[in-house]
Structures are given as structure tokens and as C-alpha cells.
Amino acid sequence: MKNIKTALFGTIIGLLSLNTYAQGPTLPAPSPAASVSQVFGLTKVEINYSSPAVKGRQIWGGLVPYDSVWRTGANQATNINFSTDVMIDGTTIKKGKYALFTVPGRNSWTIILNTDAEQFGAFNYKKSLDVARFTAMPQAGDMKEHMAFMIDPTSDTTATVTLCWEKLKVSFSIWAQTKTMIAKNIDNYTSGIWRNYANAANYYLNNNLDLTKAHDWAMQSVQMQESFYNRYILAKVLQAQDKDEEALKYANEAKTIGDKNPDGFYNEYKDDVAKLINTLSTSVLSGKKKKK
């Protein structure tokens, strides 16, 4: 009986020791997981990758060979996800997740988007699953110990993705049909809501789009609701259409309505309304003097 207890005790101690050994201490990963995401216009771009370090090694042409497919990081293949259809280097890319491979070269790189987004490294890379291949030019950059991606939105329709590591950076641009998507959203969601019509008109005005549509939406908003905001937007649209006298009428209405019921929203625009009235008044007066 004593031998059985001793053996059982030894087994328990062994299992506990094995479990402790298996768990081990938490240590920093050599190539920690990283991600970056950015919205431009109506499109979200997200990149997930593992970030290796230089550690005094020769990176280009050494750790990362030239002219070979690279996972563009460490561990799992780097992946990139688009929330809408986009275009890169003239190729349309459907929304979704893709592996982001590269072929680094001394003077140029090949960027690859591949449909097998969840593979480990580039060991099972298949060219037949590529949806896009395009060229990017490497440039000198500031020293970067850990590899990193950056996404810079340059407008509502474009963003630039940049890979930085060691003393090198490589960039490529993404383009989305933001204006087409916005027009579709406006058609789907403006109906019956005065503020949505006013916001749609304001967007079209600020982005040099169809002023006739902007005028129609602003006018619909005015007819639906008495608000300083929609009259202010309508006045700006009319001003852009060179209809200053009519614009002045709605600008004055905006001031009257806002002054009657001042709130935080109106106070944000109060000075802008006053400036618009002053500008339009000067323009209308000047126009009348010329006619005389």
C-alpha cells in the first residue's frame, strides 16, 4: 500500500512539473504580431502581419533574398483586407482578404495579392492564386528596427500603403470608387430625412460634384424642415451657381431662424453664416451698381 501511495505521489508531482514546464514563462515574441487599419472615403484597409527585427543582420539580399517570393514579414503570410472593391495599378480587386507577398529586387519590387490569405509563410505559395501583380520602386528611408506598415489616406478616393524596414521603404497606392458609392448611398438613404438631404447637398458642393443635384437636395430639405442649416447649405449652393441674390435671401433666413432659436449647433455656424451674408450682400450691391 505504501509503495502504491509513493508511486501515485510521484506521478502527481511529475504531471505538475510537466504542466509547469509546458506552460513556461511569457517571453517577448521575436517577431511580434502587428496590425494597422485606415479608412479613406468609405473604404477600410487593414493589414495584419508579424514584425521581424533587424538585429544587426543584413536584410536585403541577406535575410530576405532578392528575386524570391517573401511572406513580407514573419510567421504567417501578411494579409491585407479591403472592405470595398478597390483598384491597384489598374487592376480591380474585389473586397475581401488577400495574402500580401512581395518579390524584393535591387531596383524594383513586385507586389503580389494572393487569394490564399491564411497560409504560413510562402512555403505553399501558388502563383495561380494571384489576383494582382504590380511593380513598386524601393526608396531610401530612415532606420527602422522592426518592420512596419503605414496607410496614409491622401483623399476620399486614394490611400498609400508603405512598408518600412531597415533603411528602405516601398509604397503603392489604392484607389476606390468613393464618389460612385456615395451617390448610391445618398439615393438609398436620403429619402424622407431633411438633414440627410442637406448633408448630401453639402458633400456634393464641397467636392465639386453635380451642383444641380446639390441644389435639388438642399431645396427638398428646406421644404421639409425649417432649419438654419439647410438654408445655409442652399445659400452656399446658389452662390456656387452664381445666383447671389437668391442665395442672400436664404442666408438671411438661416440667420433669422438661428438667432430665434440659438443652440450649440447654430453657434458652430453663426460666424460662417454672417460671413456668407456679408459676402453675398457685397456681391449683390456691386452687381446692382454695374447694372446702373
Domain boundaries, the chain: 33-176, 190-286
Give φ, ψ of 156 to 5 degrees. Answer: -70, -15
Sorted by sequence, the CB contacts under 8 Å of residue 148 that are 6+ apart come out as: 34, 36, 51, 163, 164, 165
**Cα four-point dihedral sign 237, 240, 243, 244:** positive
User: Given this model, what pLDDT does residue 289 score?
Assistant: 55
User: Given this model, what pLDDT does residue 161 score?
Assistant: 98
Q: Averaged in consecutive runs of 10 residues, what is the pLDDT profile of the chain (292 residues)?
A: 46 46 73 96 97 97 97 96 97 97 97 95 94 97 97 96 98 95 79 89 92 94 95 97 96 95 90 96 80 60
- Residue 1 DSSP symbol: -
- The whole model's pTM is what? 0.76
- What is d(CA 37, CA 68) in angstroms, rounded to the nearest whole number? 27
Strands (E), 117-241: 130-136, 139-153, 158-175
- Cβ count within 10 A of residue 246: 15
User: Given this model, what pLDDT does residue 182 score?
Assistant: 86
Asked if residues 82 and 95 have their Cβ atoms less than 8 Å apart, the reply is yes
User: Given this model, what pLDDT does residue 184 score?
Assistant: 83
- What is d(CA 47, CA 72) in angstroms, rounded to the nearest whole number? 11
CATH annotation of 190-286: 1.25.40.10
Cell numbers linked to 282: 457685397
User: Given this model, what pLDDT does residue 16 score?
Assistant: 45
SS3 content of the chain, % helix, strand, coil (to 5): 40, 30, 30
Amino acid letter, 231: R
Asked if residues 280 and 251 have their Cβ atoms less than 8 Å apart, the reply is yes
Identify the three-state secondary structure at position 113.
strand
- What is d(CA 130, CA 113) in angstroms, rounded to the nearest whole number? 6
User: Given this model, what pLDDT does residue 20 score?
Assistant: 47
**What's the angle, vertex CA 202, arms to CA 199 and CA 207, rounded to 5?**
125
User: What b/e string do you get for 119-148 counting C-beta neighbours within 10 Å, with b at 16 or more?
Assistant: beebeebeeebbebeeebebeeeeebeebb
User: Given this model, what pLDDT does residue 143 score?
Assistant: 97
